Chains A and B, each alone.
Chain A
Amino acid sequence: MLNELLFRFASWLDTFQSSTDLHESLYMYSWVESAHVLTLMLFLGMLLVIDLRLLGVAFRNIPASKIVERLDKPMMIGFIVMVISGALLFYAIPVRSTQSIWFRIKVVLLIAAGVNAFLIRKMTRSSAMKAWDNDPVPPKRIRVGAALSLGLWTLVIGAGRSMAYDWWDCTKELPYFMYWAAGCVNEMAAFEQ
């Protein structure tokens, strides 16, 4: 049901001429993709500094609140550019992206990383932070959150990178489960006949 809805939505996006134009443009698609990859350094670079401080392995002599608060703005600027460029990349190739197992894994990881970031944000914005702000090594729950954040974002990079490969594309001969997981609606129907 969800697979069909997603497929219909992607097929509808695919009918727009601007989607085809963006995908087939000589330079624009490459520029958008480059912006998406290069902004990683701003968004994830700042996030890395925050997470390393919250893990207690770097910037230990700088109060954690300073790192968290001051790097929030550049990090969010990077995040916004990544979301816009990511949406454009999806818009350029909507059907293949929707039916990519790696894209689906990436979305699930992004949601998990988002929930984790929300929880870390809550813990680092509370008044309880004053108790450990200057400690070189923050409390265990903060360190666990920071380690999870680093791990999840590394997996997001890996899933994003793997989207370029056609290992489990719908056009390949795959087990039914893989067709279902990737949302290969037509192939699933052919399998059932």
Chain B
Amino acid sequence: MDVVFFFQWLDASMLAEFSKSSSGIFAVVQTIHIASMVVLGGMLLLGDLRMLNVVLSDVPSSLVIENTKKWIYLALVFIILSGIYEASAIAMKLAYNSFFFAKMAGLSMGIVFILSLRSAVYRRAPGLVYPEGSSQTLSQSDTLRPWIVKLVAVTNLLIWFGVASSGRWIGFS
């Protein structure tokens, strides 16, 4: 499907006119984009490393995941808004940039993944990822095998690593 028309529309929009006019504001928005990336990356890393029993292994995993949720959503909102602003300034360049499309595909996949599979699997994480004797340990029949939880953690890390690195390479291409 030819999507160049969308980039042409974005390039001619008032937002593009504004974003192209001030490199100072553009730099501030870039900083917000990177800072939001730190929030998202940090919270996802913490949750996934917890599920892999690398960090905070003596803290109930549900506590860690619960605390990271709202920060992940907040960071995603800022990343998308600042990303649209940045894209508007270089819309026609992005229309022919394969790294941009790789990033968008990864971002969509990542969002769907954390809202569906990651969330569902982490809710049914087995006793292994909870401290021994914790009252929050689910019964055996309600839990998933540890390797499934760990596979989801590794997959999530790989998806978001791909999103961040393809985003970085937009600048080089």
**Which A residues are within 8 Å of any B CB, using their own CB?**
30, 33-34, 37-38, 40-42, 44-49, 52, 58-59, 61-62, 66-67, 70-71, 74, 154, 157-158, 161-162, 165, 167
Contacts and interface: CB of A to CB of B under 8 A. Distances in A.
Contact of B31 (A30, A37, A45, A154): A154
B92 interface: no
Contact of B168 (A38, A46, A47): A38
A72 B91 CA distance: 41
Contacts of A66: 56, 58-59
A62 B35 contact: no
A41 B168 CA distance: 13
Contact of B46 (A40, A46, A61): A46
Contacts of A41: 37-38, 41-42, 45, 164
Contacts of A67: 56
Contact of A58 (B41, B54, B71): B71
Taking chain A's interface residues, is the majority helix, strand, or loop, or is none over half, making it mixed? helix
- Top 3 closest A-B pairs, CB basis? A45-B42, A41-B41, A158-B31
B5 interface: no
A44 B42 contact: yes
Chain B interface extent, by class: 20 to 34
Interface stretch (B12-20, B22-30, B105-113, B120-128): B22-30
B34 to A, nearest CB: 5
Interface of B: 23-24, 27-28, 30-31, 34-35, 37-39, 41-43, 45-46, 49, 54-56, 58-59, 63-64, 67, 71, 161, 164-165, 168-169, 172
B160 to A, nearest CB: 8
A62 B34 contact: no
B98 to A, nearest CB: 15
A74 B43 CA distance: 13
Contacts of B169: 30, 34
B31 A74 contact: no
A70 B63 CA distance: 15
A41 B41 CA distance: 5
Nearest to A150: B35
B30 A161 contact: yes
A42 B56 contact: no
B34 A157 contact: yes
Contacts of B30: 161
Given A61-B63, A70-B55, A161-B31, A40 B37 contact: yes
A40 B38 contact: yes
A165 B27 CA distance: 9
Given A30-B169, A157-B35, A158-B31, A38 B161 contact: yes
Given A40-B41, A161-B27, 12 more contacts: A34-B165, A38-B165, A45-B43, A46-B45, A52-B71, A61-B67, A157-B34, A157-B35, A158-B28, A158-B31, A161-B30, A161-B34
